[in-house]
Amino acid sequence: MRTIEGLTVIVDLDTNQGVEVSDIGRHIPIPKDTNTDYRFSAQNNTHTKTNPINPIFMEQPKGPSFTVKNDHLIKWVNWEFHIKHDPRAGMIISRAMFEDPDSGEFRSVMYKGMVSEIFVPYMDPTEAWYYKTYLDAGDYGLDLWTRALDPVNDCPRNAYYMDGVLVTSDGTPFIQSNVICVFERYANDIAWRHTESSVVGEEVREVRPKVTLVARMITSIGNYDYILDWIFQNDGLIRIEVGLSGIAVVKGTTYKNMEEVPEEEDLYGTLVSENSIGVIHDHYIAFYLDMDVDSPNNSFVKVDIRKQETSPGESPRRSYLKTTRNVAKTEKDAQIKLNMYQPSEYHVINPSKKTRVGNPVGYRLVPGSNAASLLDSEDPPQRRAAFTNNQIWVTPYNQSEVWAGGLFVWQSHGDDTLATWSNRDRSIENKDIVLWYVLGFHHIPCQEDFPIMPTVTSGFDLKPVNFFNRNPILGIPPHFENDLPVCQATGHA
């Protein structure tokens, strides 16, 4: 938070020698440390009007509903999946299967899901900043920057913790404790409900509570913290969420107030404190999703939703919505840029397996809020991170095509990326395919992001679409008053 602005050292990593030292920031003062300490102990005299929140915990008097076998195999309600930690990808979810409530069969949903790459370009083209365009997974490794989770704050007290085995730069193995937590969550959300009243006054009301299972890992790469959640629902849905927190990188400046800034000057960010600019930047998280819906051989279907106009005299209605299913034959058919005004659904189906009424079984990718890269396609950092050119990609499975930014991202020129592979335009129909989803954030810093930014979250869903013959959670019982103990105070303070 107290940057020495404009000091750049260029080192030749092949010869291990310094090449050049540039100091163009001698006139820029180092910011003072006022209001930069984010620890609770430093807030006593600065936030006198903050009212505390009483502690809240979820109680499980009968214990958790999930089990862990061999430290990595999770079984919860109808789900079964494996968790591992990887030095580059962080947490990997594999062999995700769902026990069909009607047949009792364990059905495959996803063979492997993980973060493949994270791209963070800063939007300052000046000498001391233009090169700050990071590929976090390839440059640093997500798990290598993972530290022990904080019990009760990072994860609730009913969480189960998993350790990670990592290696130092010289190959020495060591154990990093409590790097992943698994817990059940209940926030009084509703899984499904309906109230039906009749004319004779009888009322039918059925409500089911929503309880989810969360697998969480947090990686702190330098200044930023990424909160990575895989959330499983008992209706077969998987929600993947990314939370951003930590410290926004700041740039030193001579300005202490916006009134001092000439109108024509571009700060490349926001003045967040005296002598400190929060620089505009993006975050893009590329997810590798090896879907195996009821078998490895799947197809990608784009279901276009378009306005259809009625013929004169056909109906009192002038328009309605019509869907058209388009099966992607090759990779370029599945290169998708999200467009709100030409909406589509995106399905991964098993064309060889049908429901009882004849629909192909499948899973649907449901995007949440997102952002697209606005950089020029020939900008060097964009060439390195060309996987951000689209939000959705589909490739045939290839064991060497795992890292969206390429196997080696250091000094990469962008000749080994997801975009390079996809442009080969290989066949993807009824094959073992990998679905890629790129989640994006534009971050224009504001003063509330200083000195620590409140968590910003976005994500996407993998949702069953004709995977089951009916609602799979009709058999889940409701809660009753006597299911949980009622705690009462035994005295007064």
Domain chopping of the chain, boundaries: 7-49+73-480
Q: What is the rounded CA–CA span in Å between residue 263 and residue 255?
A: 13
Annotated active-site residue 224? The verdict is: yes
State the Cα–Cα distance between residues 215 and 209, nearest whole angstrom. 20
Burial class from Cβ neighbours inside 10 Å (0-12, 13-18, 19+) for residue 94 reads middle
Handedness of CA 359, 365, 368, 372 (dihedral sign): negative
Q: What is the pLDDT of residue 48?
A: 61
Which pair of tokens denotes residue 220? Answer: 């702190």
Angle (CA) 44-46-52 rounded to 5° is 60
Q: Name which of 96-105, 167-176, 369-378, 462-471 the model is least confident about.
A: 167-176
- Nearest Cα neighbor of 290 from 213, 375, 363, 339 is 363
Give the contacts of 30 (CB within 8 A, at least 6 positions apart).
2, 3, 4, 5, 252, 275
Q: Which of 136, 143, 235, 290 is catalytic?
A: 136
- Examine the pLDDT at 198 and tell me if it is beyond 80: no
Catalytic residue among 224, 226, 288, 437: 224
Per-residue pLDDT band at 49 (split at 50, 70, 90): low
Q: Which residue type does 409 have?
A: V
Please report which confidence band the pLDDT of residue 493 belongs to, taking 50, 70 and 90 as the band edges.
very low
% of the chain at pLDDT higher than 90: 79
pLDDT score of 54: 83
**Phi-psi category of residue 358: left, alpha or beta, with phi > 0 → left and psi -120 to 50 → alpha:** left
What is the reported pLDDT for 328? Answer: 98
Helix locations, 320-363, DSSP H: none
Q: Does 451 sit behind a cis peptide bond, omega within 30 degrees of 0 on the bond before it?
A: yes
**3-class state of residue 167 by DSSP:** strand
Q: Are the C-beta atoms of residues 108 and 295 closer than 8 Å to each other?
A: yes
Average pLDDT over residues 473-481: 87
Q: Give the mean model confidence (pLDDT) for residues 85-94.
A: 94
Using the predicted structure, report yes or no on whether residue 490 has a pLDDT greater than 60: no
Is residue 151 reached through a cis peptide bond, with omega within 30 degrees of 0 on the bond before it? no
Find where tokens 């056909």 sit. 314
Q: What is the pLDDT of residue 488?
A: 61
Q: How many CB atoms lie within 10 A of CB 140?
A: 17
- Calpha distance 284→338 (Å, rounded): 15
Closest by Cα among 48, 140, 51 to 88:
140
Domain 7-49+73-480 belongs to what topology? Beta-galactosidase; Chain A, domain 5 (2.70.98)
Nearest Cα to Cα of residue 292 among 347, 332, 349, 245: 349
What is the average per-residue pLDDT within 384-394? 98
Give the burial class of 396: count Cβ atoms within 10 A of its Cβ; 0-12 exposed, 13-18 middle, 19 or more buried: middle
C-beta neighbour count of 209 within 10 angstroms: 17
Predicted TM-score (pTM) of the model is: 0.94
Contacts of 132 (CB under 8 A, 6+ apart): 121, 122, 124, 249
- In whole angstroms, what is the distance from residue 397 CA to residue 416 CA? 16
Average pLDDT over residues 371-389: 97
Lowest mean pLDDT among 126-140, 404-418, 437-451, 471-485: 471-485
Alpha helices in 86-224 (DSSP H): 136-139
Mean pLDDT over 335-361 rounds to 97
CA dihedral defined by 301, 78, 146, 141, rounded to 10 degrees? -30
pLDDT of 207 reads 93
Mean pLDDT on 382-411: 96
Task: Tell me what pLDDT residue 166 has.
Answer: 86
Structure tokens at 442: 């534009």
Average pLDDT in the chain: 92
Average pLDDT over residues 118-147: 92
Tokens of 427: 């066949």
